[in-house]
Amino acid sequence: MKRIFCLMLCLVLLAPAVFSQGQVESAGEKVYTMKLGHASTTESTRHKALLEMEKYVEEKSGGRLQVEIYPGAQLGDETAMIEAMKLGTQEAFVGGVFASQTPMLEIYLMPFFFPTQADLMKVSRSDFGTKIRETAEKYGIKMLAVGDGGSRQITNNVRPIRTPSDMKGLKIRTPPIESIIKAMEALGANPVSIPYGDTYMALKTNVADGQENPLANIGDMKFHEVQKFMTMIDYQFHPEPFDVNLDFFNSLPSDLQKVLEEGAWIYTDKQNELRRNLNDYYYDMIVSGGVTVYVPTEAERQLFINAMKPVYNYFVGKGVFTQADLDEMRRIVEQN
């Protein structure tokens, strides 16, 4: 009798644990965690938009897909994060170093190609944009969306830049992006490859004379504190890819894949909006910091356009994309 009582007591004690385990399985199923890294600060448009994505994904998935965001290059510089994502030790990444994601992204970077953010997004949301994203799969990346990474201006500490001849001999910090390096070389500058997070100190100590970035990046990273001149040139619009490790993406149930894809485009739209709305804010920040701004005339701007034409020929000759690809992209931009 005593043995029967003990057995019944054990069953009573175990019942809550068994019931609780059943609740976890039925209510939550498997929980997936996505570790996402980027190199910008927590005040950047990139990070603020990622927080919107995180909220959407976690709520829409019912908590089954958790997002951990690591800003400020906590997981390494952009090159290191891309490699970690390819290896699967980091599930997601947002940022530059485009050829490491897929060389085809370089087509977005041809100088003076996109007049506006809206024109870039015409391409991004087109079938041609899908084709570009799909080329990343051969490198182990599921590129879910591409947005606007900002149009780029040039700053320096030596002299005002009004024409390409003013660029000659300047040490310009560039990211490890070949189209930027080739563009700076075409203008007669000397590109200096420096990680994004090290750029402020490189400018302060004259390791580099200048750099090129969107207004939001210049303001967010405080580059204007260590620069004297800025030329509003908008010579490149950068793409903003949202990448996930391909094996990780394929491991997700189809409903969570859909949620993540939706989240990537929510990030894209929010980040685009923030960049548009905050341009004046960052411009005023840079000017109030003591930077002298120059806006080239149409004739001067045309000199920059002409000087950078060899960049197109270089990439077509290298086989990264074709002239037909460029023509297709231009057709999309020119559509009403």
What does the pLDDT look like over 30-75, one tens digit per residue? Answer: 999 999 999 999 999 999 999 999 999 999 999 999 999 999 999 9
Quick one: pLDDT at residue 18? Answer: 35
Supply the pLDDT for residue 6: 42
CA angle (105, 33, 124) in 5-degree steps: 20
Residue ranges covered by each domain of the chain: 31-334
Give the number of other Cβ atoms within 10 Å of residue 281's Cβ: 12
CATH level 2 (architecture), domain 31-334: 3-Layer(aba) Sandwich (3.40)
First to last CA, the chain: 87
Q: The tokens of 100 are what?
A: 């490491």
Task: Copy the structure tokens of residue 140.
Answer: 């182990």
Helix (H) or strand (E) holding 229: strand 229-231
Measured N-to-C along each axis, helices 117-124 and 323-334 cross at an angle, to the nearest 10 degrees, of 120
For residue 299, the model assigns a pLDDT of: 98
Which residues in the chain come in under a pLDDT of 50? Answer: 1-26, 28
Per the CB < 8 A criterion, the answer to whether 264 and 34 are in contact is no
Give me the pLDDT at residue 96, please.
Answer: 87
Pairing relation of β-strands 65-70 and 190-193? unpaired
- What is residue 249's predicted lDDT score, i.e. its pLDDT? 98
Confidence at residue 304, expressed as pLDDT on a 0 to 100 scale? 98
Structure tokens at 105: 């992204």
Question: What pLDDT is recorded for position 336?
Answer: 77
Return the amino acid letter for 114.
Answer: F
The torsion angle over the Cα atoms of residues 148, 222, 263 and 124, rounded to 10 degrees, is 10
pLDDT given for residue 21 in this prediction: 31
Looking at the DSSP bridge assignments, the partners of residue 93 are 37, 243
> Token pair of 70, please?
């690591």
Q: By CB neighbour count within 10 A (0-12 exposed, 13-18 middle, 19+ buried), where does 16 fall?
A: exposed
Which of 93, 99, 106 lies closest to 236 in space, CA to CA?
Answer: 106
d(CA 92, CA 81): 9
Q: Give the C-alpha separation, 211 to 124, whole Å.
A: 27
Residues in the chain: 336
Supply the pTM of this predicted model.
0.85
